[in-house]
A and B are shown apart, each in its own frame.
Chain A
Amino acid sequence: MKKITLEVNGKKVSKEVPDHTVLSVFLREVLNLTGTHVGCDTSQCGACVVHADGKSIKSCTALAADLDGSKVTTIEGLVSNGKMHPMQEAFKKLHGLQCGFCTPGMVMSAIDLLKHKKNPSDKEIRDWLEGNICRCTGYQNIVAAVKEAATKM
């Protein structure tokens, strides 16, 4: 067991967890932040992407203990003053989601892309999102949504 302290979505949390607890389990089971999803067991699907200290990471493959002291943002932390993040708005406007399962990871990953590249091309968006699998949308509206968000951010 290890005691860890993180800032999750702006709130400080201190918990004692088994050493092998991965961040996705910590968020979902310990903090009940079930917006972060787990869609595979090989760090491939990207449904679990969150931000740790501003960078997108796959939370299923990060030990919570390794992130002791970090600032973590999950999909639940994007809404501010009741308003969705421009990326969330763009996904809604352009139908960038269907079943919604991959969506939290997709949105978190896409936001990180725009930090690296302000106005990415279609190809740059597709290459960046290669680590996020979506089975519903065929990706086309996701690409459109990221482009739309880029004009608003």
Chain B
Amino acid sequence: MASLVGSRVERKEDKKLLTGRGKYTADVTFAHQTYAYFVRSPHARAQIKNVDISKAKKASGVVAVLTGKDIANDKIGGLIAGWRIKSEDGSDMKVPAHPPLASESVNYVGDHVAVVIAESLDEARNAAELVKVDYKVLKAVVKTDEAMKSDSIYKDIPKNLCFDWLLGDRAKVKEAFDSADKIIKVDLINNRLVPNAMEPRAANADYNPSTEEITLYTTSQNPHLARIIISAFNGVAPENKLRVIAPDVGGGFGSKIYPYAEEVVCSWASKKIERPVKWVADRTESFLSDCHGRDHVTHAELAVKSDGTFLGFKNETIANIGAYASVFATVTPTYLFGPCATGVYKMPAAYSNVKAVFTNTAPVDAYRGAGRPEATYTIEVLVEKAARELGMDPAEIRMKNFPTEFPFQQTLVHSVDSGDYNAGLKKAMEVADYKGFEKRRKDSEANGKIRGIGFCTYFEACGIAPSAVVMSLGCGIGLWESAEVRFNPTGNVTVFTGSHSHGQGHDTTFAQIAADQLGVPLENIEISHGDTDKGPFGYGTYGSRSLTVGGTAIVKACEKIIAKGKKVAAKMLEVNESDVEFKDGEFIVAKSNQKKTIGEVAFACYLPGTYGEVKSPLPEGEEPGLKESSFFDPGNFSFPAGSHICEVEIDPDTGTTEVAKYTAVDDFGTIINPLIVEGQVHGGLVQGIGQALYENCHYDDSGQLVTASYMDYTMPRADNFPEFKLGFTCTPATSNPLGTKGCGEAGAIASPPAVMNAVMNALDTDISMPATAEKVWKACQKMKKSNSKAA
């Protein structure tokens, strides 16, 4: 049987999605359905003096109007920060209370004040306009770099400082800097982004008063986490009385990892009114209330010798985490950011210092790459600048500082198990035809355009684990993953995973793995996920972890199935277990033609005994059935790496920057399905290039979100891109038996610096993201002026 691992298998999930037969949360409507509409704060910061719901309650079709006082009276708990970070001085981070409905103060535009529930959405929306909230408006704190100098939003949190965290050794860094020939400095803004999964968030909670069970459909990357948080922290219902289903989910990119106020409120309200409550965000609500991403202000320095050897690195960052500390808000700018900020290089001394600040803006949390794009942008812009200032080739300076021996103990945290960074960069330079750049530059120049080239070599730490380590660093959850492999009596298989697919293609990739392990045809394997009542508890999908952690759990469960199968087959064939081998779906007795298929063995496990032709006694002490589970907790993170090269062509008359050529060569270890992996890279690239050239989330000085629609926030579109050239190298991961490293975030991590380095190469000046036509045109005008002066 040919191995499916490594094959471009078409996706099993596609037909339903292509024919309109998918089922997303907004598609689910229950009998006796009611519809929720949230009353949200129009102010960035205000005290709530009074909420008058009397008129709204009497409006047509209204079933209930619930406020922050109601939720407080019912003792529903607040939303949580899931990762405890300690400051450099040893003190704990400071976080404000985050009630699902505010009763005392609102802290960003879009903050939840009340919910109106009605027979129809139109009636709920109309009645919401009748809720009269009396606010005392206060001066908002908006800007990341001004937050520490502004009024405290919360009285117990001076300087709006959540924590002041340090990783690394300041004294060693000082020594390194003192001995340097040159110090390269950058001041960077990592622009705030809105994740913008195409499916807006939604929830539909259905309480059954007789069983006291709530069934919550929700747009989640992580239904098990939603269940435990809504049960254990919000206290809406005990875990055994809350079933969370994340059906087809239309993208997440981090923004759907954890439950929001709306899921908590809909679940609680459904219990209160004893009817199902449905909420579907419109896009404006998504802009206002989905967690945003990035938003760092960074000063970084690199100490170098004049031959280009790196000696030390310092990183001083202010990270905006918005009005409240969301679930992964505190780990994103710390452990996911700081360690990777030294890049893919040998760096004798380094530190990352991060001050996380509260502002009157939407909460900021993980967004595709989460911390690692910010880290990679910092070091890669710095390295390229170092090459420019030292007059070195950007590839040469990188290769000079690559580690060549693995495992490589990276400066700040990670022991990188495997990699070959030189091979990746060399391949990228070939695919990109780096040698031909100068000719292309001249051709562009002849056409009145300015061409630039930019590099990014990155590594990232994903497949986050092991649980014991992350918990010791403050993580409030474990980070293993579960799988259950269940043979049905007739020999086909259902695989349950605690991971979740919302575009990544688990139904196919995971089935490929199980098919190879068990020797069962792909079409006889179903992957089940997204329902807490079906599969075992798991930790969902984020941080490029599904395959390395969840995929391995499937392998381990399959190994247990085969181990049991061997015993049963040996009994059926009346031979010693040690004489039985398993290969391609068959248990074979060595040097004989005796064998049993895994299907026959499964059947025997479910019908153990003798009945006519069926002769399948189980070995003594063996239980009937064929179903095994595994909870896999890896021994280390995984470390994808790669080299990306971007060429841009700038029109100096309009300031338009076109990505003319883009090459990505990545090392994801073993690739299970190249078709899917390439798609992941393409998608990541577009999000990263979007950050570099188009996307920007902007609040005005009063805290109003100016970019709250697709008319104002520039989403990358089909006509913004060339065809990307992809290549792969492979050093298998040693931390999991599949050898996989994770591919979901790489494109978004590597592309912003590659693009920006190309823009800065073209314009020979620093420029901030997004490099909009306006900024680029201004830089071109400056360049023209200085050129004419020089002439």
**Interface of A toward B, CB cutoff 8 Å:** 18, 28, 33-42, 44-45, 47, 74-76, 78-79, 84, 88, 91-93, 95, 97-104, 107, 122-123, 125-127, 129-130, 132-143
B197 touches A127 (CB 8 A): no
A100 touches B709 (CB 8 A): no
Chain A neighbourhood of B282, CB < 8 A? 40-41
Q: Is the interface of A mostly helix, strand, loop or mixed?
A: loop
Distance between Cα atoms of A138 and B775 in the complex (Å) = 25
Q: Taking the complex as formed, is B686 at the interface, i.e. its CB lies under 8 A from any CB of chain A?
A: yes
Q: Taking the complex as formed, is B249 at the interface, i.e. its CB lies under 8 A from any CB of chain A?
A: yes
B10 touches A93 (CB 8 A): yes
B18 touches A125 (CB 8 A): no
Q: Is the interface of B mostly helix, strand, loop or mixed?
A: loop
B20 touches A39 (CB 8 A): no
Whole-angstrom distance between the Cβ of B26 and the nearest chain A Cβ: 8
Distance between Cα atoms of A86 and B505 in the complex (Å) = 22
Distance between Cα atoms of A88 and B14 in the complex (Å) = 9
Which of A35, A125, A134, A135 interacts with B253 by CB under 8 Å? A135
Q: Taking the complex as formed, is B15 at the interface, i.e. its CB lies under 8 A from any CB of chain A?
A: yes
Distance between Cα atoms of A107 and B18 in the complex (Å) = 8
Which of A34, A35, A42, A140 interacts with B721 by CB under 8 Å? A140
B683 touches A39 (CB 8 A): no
A100 touches B197 (CB 8 A): no
B682 touches A34 (CB 8 A): no
Among residues of B, the one whose C-beta sits closest to the C-beta of A142 is B718
Whole-angstrom distance between the Cβ of A47 and the nearest chain B Cβ: 6
Whole-angstrom distance between the Cβ of A120 and the nearest chain B Cβ: 12
Given A84-B19, A95-B675, A139-B718, is A100 in contact with B686 using a C-beta cutoff of 8 Å? no
A97 touches B17 (CB 8 A): yes
Which of A76, A102, A133, A143 interacts with B19 by CB under 8 Å? A76
Distance between Cα atoms of A103 and B249 in the complex (Å) = 13
Q: Taking the complex as formed, is B652 at the interface, i.e. its CB lies under 8 A from any CB of chain A?
A: no
Q: Taking the complex as formed, is B149 at the interface, i.e. its CB lies under 8 A from any CB of chain A?
A: no
Residue in A39, A95, A139 with the greatest tally of chain B CB atoms within 10 Å:
A95
13 examples of A-B residue contacts, CB within 8 angstroms: A28-B27, A37-B26, A39-B200, A40-B282, A92-B11, A98-B251, A100-B13, A100-B248, A100-B250, A101-B198, A101-B251, A126-B721, A135-B715
Chain A neighbourhood of B721, CB < 8 A? 126, 138-140
Chain A neighbourhood of B283, CB < 8 A? 39-42, 45
Chain A neighbourhood of B606, CB < 8 A? none
B248 touches A143 (CB 8 A): no
Distance between Cα atoms of A5 and B499 in the complex (Å) = 45
Which of A37, A41, A141 interacts with B284 by CB under 8 Å? A41
Chain B neighbourhood of A125, CB < 8 A? 718
Q: Taking the complex as formed, is B402 at the interface, i.e. its CB lies under 8 A from any CB of chain A?
A: no
Among residues of A, the one whose C-beta sits closest to the C-beta of B684 is A138
Distance between Cα atoms of A76 and B122 in the complex (Å) = 27
Distance between Cα atoms of A93 and B251 in the complex (Å) = 21
Given A40-B710, A135-B197, is A130 in contact with B717 using a C-beta cutoff of 8 Å? yes
B24 touches A84 (CB 8 A): no
Chain A neighbourhood of B678, CB < 8 A? 95, 141
Q: Taking the complex as formed, is B719 at the interface, i.e. its CB lies under 8 A from any CB of chain A?
A: yes
Among residues of B, the one whose C-beta sits closest to the C-beta of A122 is B723
B18 touches A103 (CB 8 A): yes
Which of B199, B676, B682 interacts with A37 by CB under 8 Å? B199
Distance between Cα atoms of A28 and B29 in the complex (Å) = 11
Q: Taking the complex as formed, is B192 at the interface, i.e. its CB lies under 8 A from any CB of chain A?
A: no
B695-719 vs A, Cβ < 8 Å mask (1 yes, 0 no) = 0000000000000011100010111
Residue in B11, B197, B718 with the greatest tally of chain A CB atoms within 10 Å:
B718
A95 touches B679 (CB 8 A): yes
B15 touches A84 (CB 8 A): yes
Among residues of A, the one whose C-beta sits closest to the C-beta of B676 is A95
Chain A neighbourhood of B22, CB < 8 A? 35, 100
Total CB contacts across the A-B interface at under 8 A = 174
A129 touches B18 (CB 8 A): no
Q: Taking the complex as formed, is B687 at the interface, i.e. its CB lies under 8 A from any CB of chain A?
A: yes
Given A44-B711, A98-B683, A139-B721, is A35 in contact with B20 using a C-beta cutoff of 8 Å? yes
Residue in B197, B283, B719 with the greatest tally of chain A CB atoms within 10 Å:
B719
Chain A neighbourhood of B32, CB < 8 A? none
Given A75-B20, A79-B19, A132-B718, is A140 in contact with B711 using a C-beta cutoff of 8 Å? no
Chain B neighbourhood of A95, CB < 8 A? 10-11, 675-676, 678-679
Q: Taking the complex as formed, is B504 at the interface, i.e. its CB lies under 8 A from any CB of chain A?
A: yes
Among residues of A, the one whose C-beta sits closest to the C-beta of B673 is A95
B710 touches A103 (CB 8 A): no
Among residues of A, the one whose C-beta sits closest to the C-beta of B710 is A44
Q: Taking the complex as formed, is B502 at the interface, i.e. its CB lies under 8 A from any CB of chain A?
A: yes
Whole-angstrom distance between the Cβ of B36 and the nearest chain A Cβ: 16
Distance between Cα atoms of A122 and B719 in the complex (Å) = 9
B686 touches A139 (CB 8 A): yes
Q: Taking the complex as formed, is B315 at the interface, i.e. its CB lies under 8 A from any CB of chain A?
A: no
A42 touches B709 (CB 8 A): yes
| CB contact list, B483-518 vs A, under 8 A | 502-505
A99 touches B19 (CB 8 A): no
Whole-angstrom distance between the Cβ of A50 and the nearest chain B Cβ: 10
A104 touches B20 (CB 8 A): yes
A129 touches B10 (CB 8 A): no
Chain A neighbourhood of B424, CB < 8 A? none
Among residues of A, the one whose C-beta sits closest to the C-beta of B505 is A98
A34 touches B251 (CB 8 A): no
Distance between Cα atoms of A88 and B19 in the complex (Å) = 8
Among residues of A, the one whose C-beta sits closest to the C-beta of B677 is A95
Chain B neighbourhood of A88, CB < 8 A? 18-19
Distance between Cα atoms of A15 and B674 in the complex (Å) = 48
Distance between Cα atoms of A42 and B505 in the complex (Å) = 30
Whole-angstrom distance between the Cβ of B659 and the nearest chain A Cβ: 12
A100 touches B715 (CB 8 A): no
Whole-angstrom distance between the Cβ of A86 and the nearest chain B Cβ: 12
Among residues of B, the one whose C-beta sits closest to the C-beta of A124 is B719
- Supplied contacts A76-B21, A130-B719, A134-B718, 15 more A-B pairs, CB within 8 Å: A34-B24, A37-B24, A37-B199, A39-B250, A39-B283, A92-B11, A95-B676, A99-B198, A99-B248, A100-B18, A102-B198, A103-B17, A126-B721, A130-B718, A139-B718
B15 touches A92 (CB 8 A): yes
Among residues of B, the one whose C-beta sits closest to the C-beta of A134 is B198
Which of A42, A44, A122, A138 interacts with B682 by CB under 8 Å? A138
Among residues of B, the one whose C-beta sits closest to the C-beta of A105 is B198
Whole-angstrom distance between the Cβ of B748 and the nearest chain A Cβ: 10
B14 touches A92 (CB 8 A): yes
A133 touches B686 (CB 8 A): no
Whole-angstrom distance between the Cβ of A71 and the nearest chain B Cβ: 17
B685 touches A99 (CB 8 A): no
A99 touches B502 (CB 8 A): yes
Chain A neighbourhood of B284, CB < 8 A? 41
Distance between Cα atoms of A98 and B681 in the complex (Å) = 12
B251 touches A99 (CB 8 A): yes
B20 touches A34 (CB 8 A): yes
Chain A neighbourhood of B14, CB < 8 A? 91-92, 97, 100
| CB contact list, B441-481 vs A, under 8 A | none
A101 touches B19 (CB 8 A): no
Distance between Cα atoms of A59 and B199 in the complex (Å) = 16
A92 touches B251 (CB 8 A): no
Distance between Cα atoms of A82 and B200 in the complex (Å) = 31
Given A127-B719, A132-B718, A135-B197, is A42 in contact with B18 using a C-beta cutoff of 8 Å? no
Residue in A97, A127, A129, A143 with the greatest tally of chain B CB atoms within 10 Å:
A97
| CB contact list, B319-358 vs A, under 8 A | none
B710 touches A100 (CB 8 A): no
Per CB-CB distance, the 3 closest pairs between chain A and chain B, nearest first, are A35-B20, A101-B250, A100-B17
Distance between Cα atoms of A123 and B676 in the complex (Å) = 24
B19 touches A35 (CB 8 A): yes
Among residues of B, the one whose C-beta sits closest to the C-beta of A140 is B682
Chain B neighbourhood of A38, CB < 8 A? 26
Q: Taking the complex as formed, is B724 at the interface, i.e. its CB lies under 8 A from any CB of chain A?
A: yes
Given A42-B283, A126-B718, is A135 in contact with B251 using a C-beta cutoff of 8 Å? yes
Chain B neighbourhood of A18, CB < 8 A? 122
